[in-house]
Amino acid sequence: MIRFENVSVTYDGAAEPTVQGVDFEVPEGELVLLVGPSGVGKSTVLGAVSGLVPHFTGGTLRGRVTVAGRDTRTHKPRELADVVGTVGQDPLSHFVTDTVEDELAYGMESLGLAPDVMRRRVEETLDLLGLADLRDRPITTLSGGQQQRVAIGSVLTPHPRVLVLDEPTSALDPAAAEEVLAVLQRLVHDLGTTVLMAEHRLERVVQYADQVALLPSPGAAPVLGTPAEIMAVSPVYPPVVDLGRLAGWSPLPLTVRDARRRAGDLRERLGGQDGTPEVSPVTTAPPQPEAPPTSRLRLRLRLRLRKKPTPAPTTASPAEVHALAVRRDRVQALRHVDLTVAPGETIALMGRNGAGKSTLLSALVGLVEPAAGSVRVGGAVPHRTAPPELVRRVGLVPQEPRDLLYADTVAAECAAADRDAGAAPGTCRALVTELLPGVTDDIHPRDLSEGQRLALALAVVLAARPPLLLLDEPTRGLDYAAKARLVAVLRGLAAEGHAIVLATHDVELAAELVHRVVLLADGEVIADGPTADVVVASPSFAPQVTKILAPQKWLTVAQVREALA
Amino acid sequence: MGVPPLERSREWGRVGAGGTPQRRAAHPTRPHQRRPTLHPGAWWLWALALGTAATRTTNPLLLALLITTSAYVVATRRPDTPTARSYTAFVKLALAVLLIRLAFAVALGSPVPGTHVIATLPEVPLPDWAQGIRLGGRVTAEGLLFALYDGLRLATLLICVGAANALANPARLLKSLPGALYEMGVAVVVALTFAPNLILDVQRLRAARRLRGRPDKGIRGLLQVALPVLEGALERSVALAAAMDARGYGRTADVPAPVRRTTTALTLGGLLGVCAGTYGLLTAEGGTYGLPVLLAGLATALAGLRLGGRRSLRTRYRPDRWDMRAWLVTGSGVAVATLLVLASAHDPEALNPGVVPLVAPALPLWPAAAVLLGLLPAFVAPDPNPDPDPAPAPDPKDPS
């Protein structure tokens, strides 16, 4: 259905091809997963299928890409619109009209389908994706998961034979992600649709794939194979594969179910060794960071802290929220929320899209005013405190780290951050060097990868050394390596005494990093407790290792590895 | 408002099993009726007709009646969408216009000869070349009243446009364009959404300034976020263009070359005819040939557009229908405008009350009754926000 024949793509101004030696075929009716670390050209390969690369992006494509027998060299994206449906990373930039129903019809209108056919397909798609209740709603008022479903629906209505998806579940909570994936699986099984999809969160998708195409490193040719074969050699792999490699299972299990069947003796070994499996290692003490860059960072931070007294009052606890209620656009975003954050504590806010996680973070930095109740951050009321004063008490890295960056070079950004924070010149730059080795001064923040940009924003916020650090969806778009670096950095900061609150959908990150999980639903706290207790109790928030080794309470592969060693 | 929309959206329990066919089949989907809407053209014609009526009178009582009429219809019949909330913005703008008009009357004086002096401002002596302009001086009640009447007329006009905006999204109006103009229409719609998105970006980035420890208010803050905002908007536009291209925007059918050439000739020739005809109508010499040339040009251009529609493959999904209600709504607006035009010709004093001598304006009975015709849409137009309860009972407010 999709055929790459020795394809290489070189963008204008680039010395090296972004991808080369791409030579494989996706047969009709298969779901093929494209995996690899960040920046290996996954999006380029996907763009080549819809013809947007190189017709829209520019650059030179060598070789040949054919989709359903049509050569993308001679067919523009609009002439492929009836066979290829494409959904990019950001659903919001995909929408042309303003209501759900019109959006679903837009593609069919362009293709000139008959009105009665359009009507029928819109109704079918609304039911297929569970959007019937939202049909008249303006798209901007939908939650992230709903928008993602509308975006997929809008390319499904013309009945394309090929679906190309770039990270369809990254922005979604676990339940919404499973919904989207269930829909994709149904399309593949019932309608014979061919799906080519890139995704970082392998733990969510790898079991659905018929084949996996691995791009191992930038410029390297892709390797195609069955999921189990590829996962055995891949540099990126989900926790279930990690556990399988650790235990030496062959062939590697890809699903929790397969792994559970094999895990009997592993459970025995762990149970016999540990003796008290119901006590989780995480609750006893926060794991110490091992990565060398982090310890250097800690050392520097400690030196700097010793040099200067902390300007913020240290007597008050980093954050105290009492009976907080917030209204936003006539919607009760938060109601009666209580939360206390202790120094050195790492907390994850979890819950579905639109549950109020971001609102709670915004309230903590004074971006929204409470309708009732009180918020105290280091003893100050955030929305009444002047910004220069507030940054020494609390720092937030927003969902889109780019929002924090104004300057056109990394050096200028750092200088501005030092001025804003009243820190000694060079503070921020030193942090950037620790977090992002190898980033030079003159790079434009927009040219950094997602993970690098996050690290830069983190450094900018840390320049003021806030005792409370907030992160909104920090792992969106990060690969496993970048995530591991982030975990190491955050552990180091927590050990320094920074309190960290992160809003996240990433259960594996929560399992790895946090001491306490606060579960929100419809603006209310529905669970608040140690990570092991909260996530183990919930089927949708339990990490893979927990599911595999239940009823023993293990959270991460690292813990299991330590226990076995 | 009942349940917040986010709560209605997804039940917590549908974890993982959301997509299985059995589960979906067990979920009875209720038969849907599209949110009833009126053709957007009808709303715009109605509102513009009320605006036209407002230009025929300076009687503050009639103008107030016009504003009340349109506001009542907006209050009962506006849908719950972001554009509908722009009505308050238009009301504020109208108020600002009124105040500015009054401020000018105070500062620059008024040509209306008045005897009731309210206050005397110090007059600024101006050089000879600025003769005829006055700064400061006497402020008379007559002058102020005249300015108030005049400003109120303009404010009414603005509020009527605001009503049209609130009742029917201008983007929906563009959807009713003929096929040949559709692509242009989409470009205009995308451009129209650019501004609101830009404002959202500015708000978001100004909030982000607070996170950097910089004040989030003031003009300097606005200037500093200008570049990132524009960069972001540009990036989004490019992403949108890519998405539109990938979804088939701009696909054309193969049309034989003669047809294509005829289309171009007809459109260009027609537009030239329209220009020449308009010129003829506006100049004294061209009184005889102006109208025929204009009409011929219009007809040719329309034929060109119709032929050009053949190149477009597009079909319409559930186009807005021009039904009986649309006729009634348009008719009520046009009736108000016609009756007021007639009244202003018949009885100019009642519709344009004098300010010298200073008298309270009287409400002319028949024109007032005519204005009340404009309330018809509040009763015949469908309610855009039916009860969220799916009960099939007809809306009690809707007699039809």
Q: Mean pLDDT, 10 residues at a time, over chain A (565 residues)?
A: 93 88 93 89 91 88 93 90 89 85 91 92 89 86 81 91 90 82 88 92 91 90 92 91 90 91 88 47 41 45 43 66 86 90 93 86 91 90 88 89 86 89 87 82 83 87 91 86 88 92 91 92 91 83 89 88 86
B236 touching chain A per CB within 8 A:
yes
* DSSP reduced 3-state for A4: strand
| Residue B209: per-residue pLDDT | 84
A52 touching chain B per CB within 8 A:
yes
A112 touching chain B per CB within 8 A:
yes
Beta-bridge mates of residue A8: A62
A354 touching chain B per CB within 8 A:
yes
* DSSP reduced 3-state for A28: coil
Beta-bridge mates of residue A9: A19, A61
Is the per-residue pLDDT at B360 higher than 60?
A: yes
Query: What does the alpha-carbon distance between residue B44 and residue B330 come to, in Å, rounded to a whole number?
Result: 8
Query: What does the alpha-carbon distance between residue A84 and residue A1 come to, in Å, rounded to a whole number?
Result: 11
Q: CA distances (Å), A131 to each of A110, A340, A341, B164, B369, in order?
A: 22, 38, 38, 30, 47
Query: What does the alpha-carbon distance between residue B297 and residue B284 come to, in Å, rounded to a whole number?
Result: 20
Query: What does the alpha-carbon distance between residue B147 and residue A169 come to, in Å, rounded to a whole number?
Result: 61
Is the per-residue pLDDT at B400 higher than 60?
A: no
Q: Tell me the domain boundaries of chain B.
A: 35-252+323-380, 255-310
| Residue B285: per-residue pLDDT | 67
| Residue A308: per-residue pLDDT | 41
| Residue B307: per-residue pLDDT | 84
Give me the total of CB pairs closer than 8 Å, taking one residue from chain A and one from chain B. Answer: 214
Only one residue has tokens 């762990």, namely A270
**Is B51:A212 a contact under the CB 8 Å cutoff?**
no
Looking at residue A511, the DSSP 8-state letter turns out to be H
Query: What does the alpha-carbon distance between residue A378 and residue A389 come to, in Å, rounded to a whole number?
Result: 11
- Give alpha helix (H) positions in chain B: 5-9, 21-26, 40-55, 60-77, 86-108, 141-167, 170-174, 179-211, 219-246, 257-282, 290-308, 324-346, 348-351, 365-372, 377-380
Q: Which residues contact B164 (CB under 8 A, 6 or more apart)?
A: B43, B44, B46, B47, B48
Report pLDDT digits (tens) over B53-63. 998 899 999 99
- Preceding omega of A54 cis (within 30 degrees of 0): yes
A56 touching chain B per CB within 8 A:
yes
- N-terminal to C-terminal alpha carbon distance within chain B: 26
Sign of CA dihedral A161, A166, A172, A178: positive
Q: Indicate yes or no: CB of B20 within 8 angstroms of CB of A182.
A: yes
Query: What does the alpha-carbon distance between residue A320 and residue A399 come to, in Å, rounded to a whole number?
Result: 23
Contacts with B242 from chain A: Cβ below 8 Å:
52, 56, 77, 88
Looking at residue A190, the DSSP 8-state letter turns out to be I
Phi-psi region of B121 (alpha: psi -120 to 50; beta: other; left: phi over 0): beta
Query: What does the alpha-carbon distance between residue B216 and residue B230 come to, in Å, rounded to a whole number?
Result: 18
Q: Indicate yes or no: CB of B15 within 8 angstroms of CB of A365.
A: no
Per the model's pLDDT, the better-predicted residue between B392 and A419 turns out to be A419
DSSP string, B166-197: HHS-HHHHHTTS-HHHHHHHHHHHHHHHHHHH
B251 touching chain A per CB within 8 A:
yes
B residues 202..231 contacting A (CB < 8 A): 204-205, 207-216, 224-225, 227-228, 231
| Residue A292: per-residue pLDDT | 41
Q: How many whole angstroms from its chain centre is CA B310? A: 31
A538 touching chain B per CB within 8 A:
no
Residue B3: pLDDT band (50, 70, 90) is: very low
Q: How do beta strands A211-214 and A31-35 pair?
A: parallel
Give A112-121 contacts, CB < 8 A, sequence gap 24+: A112/B251, A112/B253, A112/B313, A112/B314, A112/B315, A113/A158, A113/B315, A114/B315, A115/B315, A115/B316, A115/B317, A115/B318, A118/A157, A118/B315, A118/B317, A118/B318, A119/B317, A119/B318, A121/A157, A121/A159
Mutant choice from A50, A53, A78 vs B, greatest count of B C-beta within 10 A? A78
**Is A50:B246 a contact under the CB 8 Å cutoff?**
yes
Burial class from Cβ neighbours inside 10 Å (0-12, 13-18, 19+) for residue B243 reads buried
Query: What does the alpha-carbon distance between residue B167 and residue A43 come to, in Å, rounded to a whole number?
Result: 42
Report pLDDT digits (tens) over B272-327. 998 888 888 777 665 677 788 888 998 998 888 888 877 777 788 888 888 899 99
Residue B8: pLDDT band (50, 70, 90) is: very low
Query: What does the alpha-carbon distance between residue A546 and residue A256 come to, in Å, rounded to a whole number?
Result: 10
What token pair was written down for B140? 């008379």
Query: What does the alpha-carbon distance between residue A58 and residue A67 come to, in Å, rounded to a whole number?
Result: 20
- Of A132, A115, A136, A114, whose CA–CA distance to A123 is shortest? A132
Sign of CA dihedral B203, B208, B213, B214: negative
| Residue B398: per-residue pLDDT | 41
**Is A353:A145 a contact under the CB 8 Å cutoff?**
yes
**Is A410:A456 a contact under the CB 8 Å cutoff?**
yes
Query: What does the alpha-carbon distance between residue B332 and residue B373 come to, in Å, rounded to a whole number?
Result: 6
Query: What does the alpha-carbon distance between residue A559 and residue A266 come to, in Å, rounded to a whole number?
Result: 13
Mean pLDDT for chain B overall: 79
Looking at residue A139, the DSSP 8-state letter turns out to be G
**Is A459:A433 a contact under the CB 8 Å cutoff?**
no
**Is B329:B320 a contact under the CB 8 Å cutoff?**
no
Residue A81, CA atoms < 13 Å, CB-side half-sphere: 27
| Residue B102: per-residue pLDDT | 92
Q: Where are the beta strands (DSSP E) in A174-281?
A: 194-198, 211-214, 223-225
Q: Indicate yes or no: CB of B317 within 8 angstroms of CB of A119.
A: yes
| Residue A285: per-residue pLDDT | 43
Report pLDDT digits (tens) over B161-218. 999 988 887 777 777 777 777 777 777 777 766 776 777 788 788 888 888 888 766 6
Mutant choice from A327, A403, A419 vs B, greatest count of B C-beta within 10 A? A403
Residue B310, CA atoms < 13 Å, CB-side half-sphere: 16
Q: Indicate yes or no: CB of A88 within 8 angstroms of CB of B242.
A: yes
Return the number of other C-beta atoms located less than 10 Å from residue A170's C-beta: 22
pTM of the model: 0.76
ipTM: 0.80
**Is B370:B347 a contact under the CB 8 Å cutoff?**
no
- Of B80, B176, B258, whose CA–CA distance to A136 is shortest? B80
